Chains A and B, each alone.
Chain A
């Protein structure tokens, strides 16, 4: 963190407190978000981002941008996912104006765009032929657009897939197909599950993103949904119930022994140490499983589409995007930087400077045509691309949706709803409650959220 950011962070609360003392409602006091005062002088941009490896790479390479734009400097403020969400939401909702560029998930983009919190990027991006907006992955572009206007640009994107340890499955004489069904996968998991090896690692840790990212894709492929087109909740429907029951049973028979403390990181650990046979999770995980320095199973992994039941595909769709809040005073410069960080040149730069497996995945189709990238990521890149292009964010399940998005519902209440239901489900995992009453309560909560739409 740079000195200026730290100072600014300390100043804002102080200024706000002082402002509150003098007169209430002086909300612009801490604003500014940089030293750009509208003049032609040098501009300092503040970028709030999640502390994922791809973002750290971006910070490492920002010097290249600053060299070609001598009037602009970019300061990075990196936070953990939840902290970022809190900090940025508070800043924008209260008109703080601390950040010139923000990293936001695909769940937030439509909600924030509707609140008129984000600058419309359609014109500035499409007017630049070299930037090539049409090269962005179409499904990802869909989830960050509202009424055909682009409010954010994907920095990297992901879907979900089945990752399996070929050695373990081979030993049991099981061959996994390219497009497996959940029944096949469950059968295989139960077969290979033993005291030493977990059949299939599935998350059970409470939290709307942690548990419901994978579980909602199962619900959707079983034909269930959180809401129908008219915002009627369907949480205790037979399809929803069947899907969750299937998931809980599978975890009990062949899943992690302590599901309530198992999330993405825990599954990654078990998998890299060869202690689990299969795992359904984010496509980004593949890069880590194939890293010979951190993983014992590098080169031994097989990849397949996310398992399905009633639908053709059941991968999710998530992207981390760059967006420009309306509160910034340096909109043009911020857009300049966003264009650079999501351009084809940037992907080349990452590959040449830092290594080809570190190129941000799932954002641009042309990335998958770079020969060096294709070679470096041959085991997982083609399937990742296939899945990302195959998922349908406008209708991932059997129900028609009035929102765009796969494993979440883009309404403000969803993170709260998902969080509460996921906590109740932990009692089902441990056998303290029955599934029926838990989903009945979920239905009530969901209907309340649906009524608010």
Chain B
């Protein structure tokens, strides 16, 4: 007993250095950000650096850009997640069936998610949405519609389009896994009991998919909250497309305001956690109230 306890103590002691390093490495950036958020520091004015208390936070809250960016983030992320999940489910249902060339189709469907975000934004900007040479306007002209100046007329929508395009395969992959894990006998039993495809889908498949949908929404939301590339490349934050991460980038690298940017960063972390929690709770509630799943 005593030898066992002693060896356990030694093992624990041996773990400490690694643990300390891990704690320092993960927490130092956060502590540094907190520290900087109480400083007045414009990189180009090295002489005027100093402690300013909560001034930066006051600036963040009194300036309208934080709230409007927050709204934009919710709009962009929300629409992209919903769009990608719905389309992903649709494609997953199609790909769940056996047909000739199924694996080729699956690989092709996944491709958008594998394209680098910056490359995807460039493809959309130049090949698809360009006013003169873009495929979107060419498509419109085929059905006799006038061309659209996408980035001028609807910047936020263009960003959402790119994101849906990129994240539909992501949602599709997870939901497809969910569909394929359905027990076949249950589906067969439903058929024997006389349920049509629609009833089988709403009463058996959807409840089964619930946790897959949840994980899709959760992961896609986390990934999309940090969206930056399409905003920077296509819209430069105009017309409702300025998300929190782009605002943060602007404060830090265009404004060169280290302190203000740090305060924005801290606020963003707080708000992101809060929003994510509220969103998830609501989602769970909707699902259980609809009676789609009894937990």
Given contacts A261-B125, A432-B239, contact A21 B24 (CB under 8 A): yes
Instruction: Tell me the bound Cα distance from A259 to B153 in angstroms.
Output: 10
The yes or no answer to A427 lying at the interface (CB within 8 A) is yes
Residue of A259, A261, A416 with most partner-chain B CB within 10 A: A261
The reply to whether A261 and B44 contact each other, CB–CB distance below 8 Å, is no
A115 touches B152 (CB 8 A): no
Q: Which residues of A contact B21 (CB under 8 A)?
A: 21
Q: Once the chains bind, are B234 and A430 in contact (CB under 8 Å)?
A: no
0/1 per residue, A404-442, Cβ < 8 Å to B?
000000001101100100010011011010000000000
Find out whether the CB atom of B44 lies under 8 angstroms from the CB atom of A260. Answer: no
Asked if A86 meets B253 with Cβ closer than 8 Å, knowing A257-B131, A260-B152, the reply is yes
For B134, give the chain A residue with the smallest CB separation: A258
Q: Is A174 an interface residue (CB 8 A)?
A: no
**A: interface residue count bin:** 35 or more
Stretch at the interface among B72-80, B104-112, B143-151, B196-204: B143-151
B46 interface residue per 8 A CB criterion:
yes
Complex: A415 Cα to B43 Cα, angstroms: 13
A206 within 8 A of B: yes
Are the CB atoms of B43 and A93 closer together than 8 Å? Answer: yes
Beta-carbon contact of A427 and B132 below 8 Å: no
Taking a contact as CB atoms under 8 Å apart, the answer to whether A423 and B132 are in contact is no
Kindly report which residue of chain A lies nearest to residue B158, judged by CB atoms: A261
A89, CB-defined interface residue at 8 Å: yes
Contact pick for A270, options B125, B132, B149, B155, CB 8 Å: B132
Closest Cβ–Cβ distance, residue A399 to chain B (whole Å): 24
Please give the distance in Å from B150's CB to the nearest CB on chain A: 7
Would you give the 0/1 interface string for A185-223, flagging 1 where the beta carbon is closer than 8 Å to chain B? 000000000000000000011111000000000000000
Interface residues on B, range: 35 or more
Query: CB-CB contacts of A252-267 with B at 8 A, as 1s and 0s?
Result: 0000111111000000
Answer whether A257 and B237 are a contact pair too, CB < 8 Å, given A115-B46, A416-B255.
no
Interchain CA distance A82-B149 in the complex, whole Å: 26
Beta-carbon contact of B24 and A430 below 8 Å:
no
* A138 interface hit (Cβ, 8 Å): no
A305 at the interface (CB under 8 A from B): no
Q: How far does the alpha carbon of A432 sit from the alpha carbon of B153 in the complex, in Å?
A: 9
Decide: A419 and B152 in contact? CB cutoff 8 A: no
Q: Which 10 A-B pairs have the closest CB atoms?
A: A412-B44, A258-B149, A258-B131, A261-B151, A426-B238, A416-B255, A260-B152, A206-B236, A93-B43, A430-B152
